[in-house]
Structure 1
Amino acid sequence: MDIDDRAEALASDLGADNEEVKADLQNLLEYDVPIDEAVQSLRRKYGGGGGGAAPAARSIGDVTTEDASVTVTARVLTVGKRTIRYQGDDYTIFEGELADESGRISYTAWTDFGLEPGATITAGNAGVREWEGEPELNLGESTDVTFEDETLSVPYEIGGDASLADLDPGDRGVNVEAVVLEVESRTIDGRDGPTDILSGVLADETARLPFTDWNPHPDVAEGASLRLENCYVREFRGVPSVNLSEFTTVTPLDRAVEVSDAAPRRAVGEAVAEGGAFDVELVGNLLDVRDGSGLIQRCPECNRVIQNGQCRSHGEVDGVDDLRVKAILDDGTGTVTAVLDRDLTEEVYGGTLADALEHARDAMDKEVVADDIAERVVGKEYRVRGVLSVDEYGANLDASEFDLVEEDPGERARALLTEVSA
């Protein structure tokens, strides 16, 4: 709902003048009051409206984004805690999922109600907002949370423990056990100025995912096997990314977390439809080498590819020579552009960057390098492993491995058909 719709629904519920309620709501928002808190404040101001009737009791599966507020009885599945900045102010919030037999729903609590995973609660006068197209409950000062003695049975796991492969963007209050494969310390331009963070790659036996530690924990070190409690998951380049906050608990494990060396193999169409993957293996035929392959030049400031000495961000620059390949991979279910960096391109080309520059000078044409690469790879079948991202510009696989397929194609086709039909 937008502000006008929210004000109209609230005025109708309260039996108050629509324009008066809208003006009051806009006034509160101008003072950076969160909208759900503003709505509850107006409910108190107007006496609840309609004789002060309590919000309707709803099953979670029946809550929609059209609801202003509801009362639900549910089991707490997860509880996360972190600090956010909302309209200029910092808030410590509690967040996670609630569930009953009809479904589950995300929540954000702006007050510490003492929620714990497994508890059964009744949340009266819980605000409803739309979050990424789905309803979410907002528990604020006007929400009445009661802990029930009788435990509600729900068909969902309680506590937040998950493998990396099970994580989705939007998950909150999750716990994982993983090994730190890669980690680096960086200084970024944060909301309060220069901020030190850690970023890298986590892995378990199911998957590998990127992570960011916004409040660097000393135990987050390369090779460490850790239990990470109270993490939240965002989307990063189309894939889930694990985020650690100041409230995340990091505990070294007394065992090594098992990690698979192989990436999950997917059909191209399936992988693209899933929206991306941080570590995936695709197999297909190389149909073409795209423009922008072979010898290229990059901006020395931002590393973007430049054209005719011009960078889109930094204007005229002295370009830095580099090599890459952008190749169309097709397996019959879909296509993807496989992007090879300098190291992989040198392997395919059979020479170094210096060799490629000399080749282009001798021919007086830099395109001969891309043409030579195309002659070597087009029409052959390759196994490509890397990070798949999908956006409005298409599907791109940033390759970390690029190998000519030598396995029996008939056997691979049968395996692919079995996977697709499963």
Structure 2
Amino acid sequence: MNVDDHAEDLASDLGVDKAEVKENLQNLVEYSVPLEEAKRSLRRKYGDEGSSASEGPTAADIADIGPDSGNVTVTAKVLTAGTRSIRYQGDDHVIGEGELADETGRISYTAWEEFGLEPGDTVTIGNASVREWEGQPELNFGESSTVTKADDIDVPYEVGGDRGLADLSPGDRGRNVEAKVTEVETRTIDGRDGETEILSGVLGDESARLPFTDWDPHAEIESGASIRAEDVYVREFRGVPSVNVSEFSTVERLDREVAVGGPTRLTVREAVERGGAYDVELVGNVIEVRDGSGLIQRCPQCGRVVQKGQCRQHGEVDAEDDLRVKAILDDGTETVTAVLDRDLTEDVYGGTLEDAREQAREAMDQSVVAETIAEGVVGREFTVRGHLSVDEYGANLETIDFAESDDDPAARAEAFLQEVDA
């Protein structure tokens, strides 16, 4: 059944206008309220609290819960517990969120009411609904659910939110990190309450560097500061995990300095299989310079590459010249497209944007610039540092350093053979 069908049945049960019920139901669902919870909320709103559109919950192990499990009862240990504010139907609503586990598995949860959950608690949650969130089942419970303390259970998972940056994944909630603020800036965005100031930048520890956003700027977050941030959540930003600090997060300055490691050296396959990586270093041979490299033209309004003076978004524009390289890097495990900006492209080209314009004018063909670049890089090995994103268009590395590798291939081969022999 779709939302329209549910709204029709609900309106018939409640004896109210279908259009009004459908609008309210769609608003709740659009703001990530599970459908069954949204229906119960509307029943309460229209004074039909005694009615129920769902069957009684079934006790379930977490490993057996799927997106279509309906309502369930679980006994589990709280691994993490965080708090966040969302908005639906024009009102702010505070939710609890985190991760639960039993002996069979783990599952994320959203609590629509305050249940006082703390990491380490073992609880029985009755009449919880299940929805799909980012491809995985998620447990949701609220006013119609019961949460009671239960006998302690042992679970094969770490209790508590402390994690190194390298161990964070999109969808994590209630995490705690200790890191150094390596970059930070104040930005003004058009938020849900109008123009809002936020902080954004980069955090680093010994394991990794990751971008962050502080939605309720904390004074402790300053460039060079070592901090502990508790109750943060993680979203995906350009294919990599991004740390999000909220009004419910606590941030304190540490009296010691957190050491920050350099870029993480990975094979291309390892980086791609992660689904993205921030501040990663790859070594491989450039096997091709792709179309769209060299002297290109961009839209002055959105920065997109234009073809024959036409921008896909803004139509005919007075395009601006730029330089770019899209180099396919192959390390024998997988390939990735390293995208070089104007400054890096000028380095590998050996000339400026004006030099590229002059070469194109003399040849009456701007493709000669890409050909010159290809002659200088194809077939050579490079060490490339940047931020990797993976999507339906492939793996792309936003490059920040691009230098010919000084590794000794013979030494690498010998090390590899020793590893195989071992």
TM class by smaller structure: 0.7 to 0.9
Number of the residue aligned with 1:159: 160
User: Which of 123, 126, 143 is the matching residue for 2:125?
Assistant: 123
Number of the residue aligned with 2:144: 142
Distance 1:225 1:23, change over 3 A: farther
Distance 1:363 1:54, change over 3 A: closer
Helix, strand or coil at the partner of 1:67 = coil
Q: Which moved more, 1:282-291 or 1:404-413?
A: 404-413
CA offsets 1:32-86 (integer angstroms, 9 cap, x no match): 4542323445697565689xx8522222222222222111121111111111123
Number of the residue aligned with 1:30: 23
In 1, the alpha carbon distance for the partners of 2:145 and 2:315 equals 55
Q: CA deviation at 1:131?
A: 1.6
Q: Contact 2:10–2:21 at 8 Å: present in 1 too? A: no
Number of the residue aligned with 2:303: 303
Q: Contact 1:4–1:22 at 8 Å: present in 2 too? A: no
Q: CA deviation at 1:28?
A: 4.8
In 1, the alpha carbon distance for the partners of 2:420 and 2:200 equals 35
In 1, the alpha carbon distance for the partners of 2:37 and 2:202 equals 38
CA offsets 1:4-42 (integer angstroms, 9 cap, x no match): 89x6xxxxxxxxxx9845855977553245423234456
In 2, the alpha carbon distance for the partners of 1:63 and 1:214 equals 33
CA offsets 1:307-363 (integer angstroms, 9 cap, x no match): 233222223333222211111111222211111111111111122222222333333
Number of the residue aligned with 1:285: 285
CA offsets 1:196-217 (integer angstroms, 9 cap, x no match): 2221111111111111111122
Number of the residue aligned with 1:14: none
Helix, strand or coil at the partner of 2:232 = strand
Alignment RMSD (CA, Å) = 2.8
Number of the residue aligned with 2:391: 391
Gaps of 5+ in 1: 8-17
Helix, strand or coil at the partner of 1:407 = coil
Q: CA deviation at 1:3?
A: 4.7
Q: CA deviation at 1:91?
A: 1.2
Distance 1:38 1:394, change over 3 A: closer
Q: Where do residues 268-417 of structure 1 align in structure 2 (5 Å cutoff)?
A: 268-413=268-413
Q: CA deviation at 1:418?
A: 8.3
Q: Which moved more, 1:227-236 or 1:27-36?
A: 27-36
Q: Contact 1:28–1:38 at 8 Å: present in 2 too? A: no
Q: CA deviation at 1:231?
A: 0.7
In 1, the alpha carbon distance for the partners of 2:181 and 2:383 equals 26
Q: Does 2:231 correspond to 1:230? A: yes
Letter of the 2:131 counterpart:
R
Q: Contact 1:129–1:138 at 8 Å: present in 2 too? A: yes
What is the identity percentage for the equivalent residue pairs of Structure 1 and Structure 2?
65
In 2, the alpha carbon distance for the partners of 1:4 and 1:415 equals 63
Distance 1:413 1:301, change over 3 A: farther
Distance 1:405 1:49, change over 3 A: closer
In 2, the alpha carbon distance for the partners of 1:2 and 1:82 equals 29
Q: CA deviation at 1:101?
A: 1.2
Q: CA deviation at 1:168?
A: 0.7
In 1, the alpha carbon distance for the partners of 2:420 and 2:354 equals 44
Number of the residue aligned with 1:11: none
In 2, the alpha carbon distance for the partners of 1:420 and 1:182 equals 41
In 2, the alpha carbon distance for the partners of 1:71 and 1:252 equals 41
Q: TM-score, normalised by structure 2?
A: 0.88
In 1, the alpha carbon distance for the partners of 2:228 and 2:420 equals 34
Number of the residue aligned with 2:214: 213
Helix, strand or coil at the partner of 2:231 = strand
Q: CA deviation at 1:279?
A: 1.7
Q: Where do residues 8-157 of structure 1 align in structure 2 (5 Å cutoff)?
A: 20=9, 23-24=12-13, 28=21, 30-31=23-24, 32-33=27-28, 34=33, 35-40=35-40, 45=49, 54-148=56-150, 150-157=151-158
In 2, the alpha carbon distance for the partners of 1:37 and 1:215 equals 29
CA offsets 1:276-297 (integer angstroms, 9 cap, x no match): 1112111111111112211122
Q: Does 2:179 correspond to 1:178? A: yes
Gaps of 5+ in 2: none
Q: Contact 1:29–1:38 at 8 Å: present in 2 too? A: no
Q: CA deviation at 1:134?
A: 2.1
Q: Which moved more, 1:26-35 or 1:219-228?
A: 26-35
CA offsets 1:101-157 (integer angstroms, 9 cap, x no match): 111111111111111111121111112222223221111001111123x32222211
Letter of the 2:238 counterpart:
R
In 1, the alpha carbon distance for the partners of 2:164 and 2:71 equals 34
Letter of the 2:302 counterpart:
C
Letter of the 1:326 counterpart:
K
In 1, the alpha carbon distance for the partners of 2:300 and 2:23 equals 43
Q: Does 2:163 correspond to 1:169? A: no
Helix, strand or coil at the partner of 2:113 = coil
Q: Which moved more, 1:181-190 or 1:29-38?
A: 29-38
In 2, the alpha carbon distance for the partners of 1:341 and 1:45 equals 60
Helix, strand or coil at the partner of 1:172 = coil
Q: CA deviation at 1:244?
A: 1.1
Q: Contact 1:267–1:416 at 8 Å: present in 2 too? A: no
Helix, strand or coil at the partner of 2:265 = coil
Number of the residue aligned with 1:257: 258
Q: Which moved more, 1:386-395 or 1:314-323?
A: 314-323
